[in-house]
Structure 1
Amino acid sequence: MDLSIHDLVKRFGRITALDHVSLDVARGSFVCFLGPSGCGKTTLLRVIAGLEEADAGSIRLGEADLSSIPARARNFGVVFQSYSLFPNMTAARNVGYGLECRHWEKERTRARIAEMLDLVHLSDQAEKLPAQMSGGQQQRIALARALAPDPSALLLDEPLSALDAKVREELRIEIRAVQKRLGITTIMVTHDQEEALAMADLIVVMNKGRIEQIGTPQQLYREPASAFVADFIGRMNVLPVEAGAQGAMSFGGTPLHIDHPARDGATMLGVRPEAVSLTARDGTGANILPATVRSVSFLGNVTRVEVEPDARRETSIMVELHGTSKVPEQGEQLAISIPAEALRVLS
């Protein structure tokens, strides 16, 4: 069943945590709420789970209105950042706890516990206590426990943020694989753009209690609707521009050609660092900007070159060079070339 959220408002005193939020989550999809601390993403997840009550708006699961249904009756599996396992219970008993609360028959419970432990590849850890397992193993047990009662949806509140980088990367692959295998509707809160890009079918970018943009990872990266989204999803050079007649744009007096029509009043263009190339200072063609190299950072397979355009020295532009590209030196005078199709108008 699809999850429909309409015009949600949630306030904590004078602070508006959710400011008329609306979205639809398709059945079986993996959706990430992405944004900085304090943007409202965790509050939105908690309202969906029934752990917080909205001041206005509605949440529907299919035809059912969840507004008056308590958290325990919503049939959502929830996994928190802290593993929240019972320290005196074995892994198997932790997984089976929700089934016991629902009065499942013992034989059915045992079979489901075995199935869930196998799903998260921890069948051999069934009799261990949480303190005897690693952080990654404990979070797998928390995931198995949330999935055991066959919930309508899985809600994940920054489940990977307490883990080290390598384990986090491994577990996000496993969580995505489990979600695809079960076909369960999943919503995950994260502030990590890489996690969202790697895991989600759909990303909801939030800022100050509002939704900035909703789209697939590819859509948000290639077609950001605002400077905030552009900067939060990957890296983006933001160029302050002057608008002319009939949608013409210029940067420090240099005309810029763009493939996408400029909106009236637009004052910013964005371009990804990997789309910008270095060229000779006397190069000809559209969107050639003379510049000086301000810094060079070698990062293995990528070299980041920060340049200062002659036209607007207060603006820096980042260029990403890959592979065996010739690397310039700090202070070198050259030019950058920006493809017209790579420029995006930002609000």
Structure 2
Amino acid sequence: MDLSIHDLVKRFGKLTALDHVSLEVAQGSFVCFLGPSGCGKTTLLRVIAGLEEADGGSIRLGESDLSSIPARNRNFGVVFQSYSLFPNMTAARNVGYGLECRRWDRPRMQNRIKEMLDLVHLADQAEKLPSQMSGGQQQRIALARALAPDPSALLLDEPLSALDAKVREELRIEIRAVQKRLGITTIMVTHDQEEALAMADLIVVMSKGRIEQIGTPQQLYREPATAFVADFIGRMNVLPLDPGAAGSYRFAGTPLAVATLANGTANAATAAALGIRPEAVALREGGASGENILAADVRSVSFLGNITRVELAPENRPETAIVAELHGTATVPETGTRLAVSLPADALRVLS
């Protein structure tokens, strides 16, 4: 069943945590709520789970209105950042806790516990206490416990943020594989853009209690609609347009042609800035003549293994840095060198 959220409002005193939020979550999809701390993403998840009560709006699961249904009756599996396992219970008993509360008969419960432990590859840890397991193993047990009662949806509140980088990467692959295998609707809160890009079918980017943009990882990376999204998803050079350039695209005194517009319009009068990914910026020696080419000085060069990041100061706007990323065996310029910087028209995006 699809999850429909319409015009949701949540306030904490004078603070509006959710400001008229609406979205659709398709059955079986993996959706990430992504944004910085304080943007409202966790509050939105908690309202969906029934752990917070909305001040306005509605939440529907299929034809059912969840507004008046308490959290315990919404049939959602929830996994928190802090694992929240019972320290005096074995892994198997933790997984079966929800089944005991639902009064499943013992043979059925034992079969389900075994099935869930197999699903998260921890059948050999069944009799261990949480204190005897690693953080990654504990979070797998928390995931198995959430899935055991066969919930309508799985809600994940930054489940990987307490783990080290290598374990995080392994677990995000496992969680995505489990979600695909079960076909369960999943919503995950994260502030980690890499996690969202790697795991989600759809990403909801939030800022200050509102939705900035909704799209697939590819759409948000290639076609960010606002400067906030462009800067938050991956790396983006945000080039503020020159004052008095209404009706045209000019940066650092250079007129720029734009072939692809993020908002689908060609109205330069409403544009606030242009965006371009570092990997799309081309560098060459020689004069800054030709379309979409400007002069800039190399401010710094950072070697990062498979890429080299070059920071440039445009001749006529040195306070606005442009970053280029060179891959493989590309010739690396020296600091202080003046170069011609090419901003391809088909790589520029219009940002509101």
What TM-score results when the alignment is normalised by the length of structure 1? Answer: 0.98
8 Å CA contact 2:4, 2:61 repeated in 1: yes
Query: What is the Cα deviation at residue 95 of structure 1?
Result: 0.2
Equivalent residue, structure 2, for 1:210:
210
Q: 2:327 aligns with which of 322, 330, 333?
A: 322
2:313 partner letter? E
TM-superposition CA deviations, 1:268-304 (whole Å, max 9, x none): 1000000001012325431111110000000000100
Alignment of 1:79-228 (within 5 A): 79-228=79-228
8 Å CA contact 2:246, 2:268 repeated in 1: no
Q: 1:287 aligns with which of 275, 289, 292?
A: 292
Equivalent residue, structure 2, for 1:346:
351
- Distance in structure 1 (CA, Å) of the matches to 2:288 and 2:17: 51
- Distance in structure 2 (CA, Å) of the matches to 1:243 and 1:333: 25
For structure 2, list consecutive stretches of 5 or more residues without a partner in the other structure: none
Query: What is the Cα deviation at residue 35 of structure 1?
Result: 0.3
Moved more, 113-122 or 274-283: 274-283
Equivalent residue, structure 2, for 1:77:
77
2:274 partner letter? L
Equivalent residue, structure 2, for 1:240:
240
2:272 partner letter? T
Identical amino acids, percent of aligned pairs: 81
Moved more, 136-145 or 264-273: 264-273
Alignment of 1:293-308 (within 5 A): 293-308=298-313
Count of matched residue positions in the alignment of Structure 1 and Structure 2: 347
1:271 partner letter? I
8 Å CA contact 1:160, 1:168 repeated in 2: yes
Equivalent residue, structure 2, for 1:67:
67
Query: What is the Cα deviation at residue 80 of structure 1?
Result: 0.1
- Distance in structure 2 (CA, Å) of the matches to 1:277 and 1:41: 37
- Distance in structure 2 (CA, Å) of the matches to 1:246 and 1:162: 47
For structure 1, list consecutive stretches of 5 or more residues without a partner in the other structure: none
Moved more, 331-340 or 240-249: 240-249
8 Å CA contact 1:36, 1:191 repeated in 2: yes
Query: What is the Cα deviation at residue 313 of structure 1?
Result: 1.4
- Distance in structure 1 (CA, Å) of the matches to 2:347 and 2:173: 31
TM-superposition CA deviations, 1:93-124 (whole Å, max 9, x none): 00000000000010000000000000000000
Query: What is the Cα deviation at residue 203 of structure 1?
Result: 0.2
Alignment of 1:268 with 2:266, yes or no, is no
- Distance in structure 1 (CA, Å) of the matches to 2:304 and 2:138: 34
SS across alignment from 2:19: strand
8 Å CA contact 1:244, 1:250 repeated in 2: no
- Distance in structure 2 (CA, Å) of the matches to 1:246 and 1:139: 53
